[in-house]
């Protein structure tokens, strides 16, 4: 049968302590493990993204280097230099523009190519295109920067190029000054406008996560490229440029966390551009929901495993204690059961062993005490019996003396003979148990003596079934009952008394009744008399004077045969009293 845990018990306390400790440990370990995993994944992802970002920087540098080589090829072209140095030649300008056009068509990332001389001459990569008449090229930033760099390539920020009629494109320009191969003098500037398709392709090829993106800024924080450039221009979106520049100036491998995103920055030595990679926090642990589900399942499994295991451990500790408790509790009911061998810890086994030793000693003491008490009780009852015999002997001898003085010799002989038989049977070779026929012979002699003493004041009838003769009874059981009938019943009655002794045999129970027609007793008297039979005579002083014989008989019967046997009394005022002796039907072999 399954036993539930009762709170407040040792088992419940062990169960709660173990459960709390285990689940606290599991929770802390899961928390530490989760923090460790997330930190490890975050650092790993950031390191991986930084490597990819460096690769992107290298790819962009390679791309700009190719464009720079193209610009250098155009700047060193002898035909173009000759065109810039000499007067206009329509045919040669057309051929040169067509050459530039071929350069442009060969690459999808070039928006336009322009060669502009110091004398105002120019070549366009679109032969049919025209310059805006209001355009002041020599004051353009890309032009001035190229002149300042003395032949080195200059890369601009992103801007709208508007030098061509009806053309307004977002571009990044690469420009360089052209020098004459013959004289070394400055001839003009070559401009290559780049679209963002190649840069966009390279930036998008950097896979940092589903929500990640990359953008490019220059050293001043101006945007070179951003996938949502229009939102930035409209102030609908912003990036932490200032913090990114500070992070870049720190020249470390750190990151900046802002708006649930991790920002990494790498700067190109070649272009002086800074490429920024933004990784969303949700991309760090892409399967966060699965991780939560796994932790939940693990927690549930641990609960299903740890709970019963903890209960089993606590039960294993407390079950032997409960067994000890149950066995010890039987002592309250007077039982002294031994525990014996018990499956438990060494301490509990030692406790059970010591308990068994204690119970064994208590058993020995109780047995010794019971034997001593029983022996004392038998001695007391024998002493009481001895008190009856001298009392009766005194009265009988007094009667014999009186009859002798009256010259009633025959009666003296008859009474003396009855007294002799009475004491011969009473002695019964020292045995306490006699046959019923001997007890009846003893009663016969006793009644003969009493009948002679009271001068025919009563008659008696003994009607005992002969089949009971061989069964056994405690000696001098019936005499005290007859004596009570005479002294407390018939003696107080004005009419002639009558004593009848009868027997009954049923269900291995022998009942012998002594009935008189004396004065009888009230219900209260009968009740007090019955209480006196079961109690100490000191508690009922009046009873000790009148019913010491009845108490002696009743206690001797229960001592030898058990508490279910003894005397029962029935009486009514004016109708006499009947005292019944109940004993088991036992032969000598069946006696205790």
Per the prediction, the chain carries an average pLDDT of 80
Is residue 501 within 8 Å of residue 485, measured between CB atoms? no
Report pTM.
Answer: 0.51
Q: What is the pLDDT of residue 383?
A: 55
Residue 156 burial (C-beta neighbours within 10 Å; 0-12, 13-18, 19+): buried
Check whether 544 has a pLDDT greater than 70.
no
Average pLDDT rounded to a whole number, residues 52-58:
89
**DSSP reduced 3-state for 443:** helix
Question: Could you give the C-alpha distances from 338 to 328, 354, 356, 366, 367, in angstroms and in order?
Answer: 9, 11, 5, 15, 16
Check whether 542 has a pLDDT greater than 60.
no
Is residue 240 within 8 Å of residue 256, measured between CB atoms? yes
What are the respective helix, strand and coil percentages of the chain, to the nearest 5?
Answer: 55, 20, 25
Average pLDDT rounded to a whole number, residues 16-27:
73
Q: Which residues face 541 on adjacent strands?
A: none
Check whether 371 has a pLDDT greater than 60.
yes
Average pLDDT rounded to a whole number, residues 186-200:
90
Q: What is the pLDDT of residue 541?
A: 47
**DSSP reduced 3-state for 81:** helix
Which of 26-35, 110-119, 571-580 shows the lowest mean pLDDT across its residues? 26-35
Which of 80-94, 253-267, 307-321 shows the lowest mean pLDDT across its residues? 307-321
**DSSP reduced 3-state for 67:** helix
Q: How many helices (H) and strands (E) does the chain have?
A: 15, 17
Q: What is the pLDDT of residue 510?
A: 93
Q: Cα 23–28–29 angle (5° rounding)?
A: 95
- The model's confidence at residue 512, banded by pLDDT at 50, 70 and 90, is very high
CATH code given to domain 368-590: 3.30.565.10
Identical fold between 49-282 and 368-590: no
pLDDT digits (tens, 9 = 90+) for 432-488: 788 888 889 888 888 888 888 777 788 889 999 889 888 998 888 888 888 888 888
Q: What is the pLDDT of residue 426?
A: 64
Q: What is the pLDDT of residue 1?
A: 42
Q: What is the pLDDT of residue 288?
A: 58
User: Is the CATH number of domain 49-282 3.30.450.20?
Assistant: yes
Question: Could you give the C-alpha distances from 407 to 34, 152, 397, 536, in angstroms and in order?
Answer: 127, 180, 15, 46
- The model's confidence at residue 592, banded by pLDDT at 50, 70 and 90, is very low
Is residue 215 within 8 Å of residue 223, measured between CB atoms? yes
Q: What is the pLDDT of residue 168?
A: 83
What value does the CA radius of gyration of the chain take, rounded to a whole number of Å? 66
pLDDT digits (tens, 9 = 90+) for 229-264: 888 888 888 899 888 888 877 666 678 888 888 888
Is residue 488 within 8 Å of residue 452, measured between CB atoms? no
Residue ranges per structural domain of the chain: 10-42+285-326, 49-282, 368-590
Q: What is the pLDDT of residue 189?
A: 93
**Beta strands at 122-124 and 213-217: parallel, antiparallel or unpaired:** unpaired
Residue 93 burial (C-beta neighbours within 10 Å; 0-12, 13-18, 19+): middle
Average pLDDT rounded to a whole number, residues 169-185:
90
């Amino acid at each position: 049968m399954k036993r539930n845990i009762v709170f407040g018990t040792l088992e419940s306390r062990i169960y709660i302590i173990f459960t709390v400790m285990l689940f606290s440990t599991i929770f802390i370990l899961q928390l530490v493990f989760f923090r460790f995993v997330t930190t490890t994944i975050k650092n790993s992802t950031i390191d991986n993204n930084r490597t990819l970002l460096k690769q992107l920087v290298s790819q962009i540098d390679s791309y700009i280097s190719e464009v720079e080589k193209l610009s250098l090829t155009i700047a060193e072209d002898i035909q173009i230099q000759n065109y810039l140095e000499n007067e206009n030649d329509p045919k040669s300008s057309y051929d040169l523009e067509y050459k530039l056009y071929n350069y442009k068509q060969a690459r999808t990332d070039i928006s336009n190519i322009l060669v502009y001389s110091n004398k105002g001459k120019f070549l366009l990569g679109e032969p049919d295109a025209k310059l805006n008449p209001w355009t002041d090229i020599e004051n353009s930033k890309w032009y001035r920067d190229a002149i300042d760099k003395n032949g080195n390539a200059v890369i601009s920020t992103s801007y709208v190029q508007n030098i061509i009629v009806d053309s307004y494109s977002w571009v990044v320009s690469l420009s360089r000054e052209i020098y004459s191969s013959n004289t070394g003098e400055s001839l003009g500037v070559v401009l290559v406008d780049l679209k963002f398709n190649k840069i966009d392709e390279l930036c998008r090829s950097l896979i940092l996560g589903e929500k990640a993106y990359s953008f490019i800024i220059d050293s001043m924080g101006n945007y070179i490229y951003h996938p949502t450039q229009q939102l930035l221009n409209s102030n609908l979106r912003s990036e932490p440029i200032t913090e990114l520049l500070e992070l870049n100036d720190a020249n470390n491998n750190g990151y900046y966390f802002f708006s649930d995103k991790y920002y990494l920055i790498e700067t190109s030595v070649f272009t002086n551009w800074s490429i920024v990679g933004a990784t969303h926090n949700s991309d760090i642990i892409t399967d966060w929901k699965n991780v939560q589900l796994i932790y939940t399942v693990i927690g549930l499994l641990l609960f299903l495993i740890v709970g019963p295991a903890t209960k089993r451990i606590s039960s294993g500790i407390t079950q032997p204690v409960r067994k000890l408790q149950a066995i010890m509790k039987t002592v309250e009911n007077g039982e002294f059961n031994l525990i014996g061998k018990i499956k438990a810890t060494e301490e509990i086994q030692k406790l059970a062993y010591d308990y068994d030793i204690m119970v064994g000693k208590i058993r020995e003491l109780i047995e010794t005490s019971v034997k001593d008490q029983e022996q004392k009780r038998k001695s007391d009852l024998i002493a009481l019996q001895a008190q009856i015999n001298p009392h009766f002997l005194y009265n009988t001898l007094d009667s014999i003396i009186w009859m002798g003085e009256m010259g009633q010799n025959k009666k003296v002989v008859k009474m003396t003979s009855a007294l002799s038989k009475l004491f011969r049977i009473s002695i019964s070779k020292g045995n306490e148990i006699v046959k019923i026929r001997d007890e009846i012979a003893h009663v016969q002699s006793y009644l003969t003596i009493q009948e002679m003493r009271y001068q025919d004041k009563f008659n008696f009838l003994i009607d005992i079934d002969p089949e009971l003769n061989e069964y056994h009874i405690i000696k001098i059981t019936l005499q005290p009952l007859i004596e009570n009938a005479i002294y407390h019943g018939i003696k107080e009655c004005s009419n002639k008394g009558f004593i009848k002794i009868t027997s009954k045999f049923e269900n291995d129970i022998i009942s012998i009744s002594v009935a008189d027609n004396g004065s009888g007793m009230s219900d209260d008297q009968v009740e007090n008399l019955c209480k006196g039979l079961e109690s100490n005579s000191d508690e009922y002083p009046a009873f000790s004077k009148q019913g010491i014989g009845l108490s002696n008989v009743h206690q001797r019967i229960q001592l030898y045969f058990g508490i279910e046997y003894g005397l029962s009394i029935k009486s009514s005022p004016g109708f006499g009293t009947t005292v019944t002796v109940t004993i088991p039907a036992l032969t000598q072999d069946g006696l205790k």
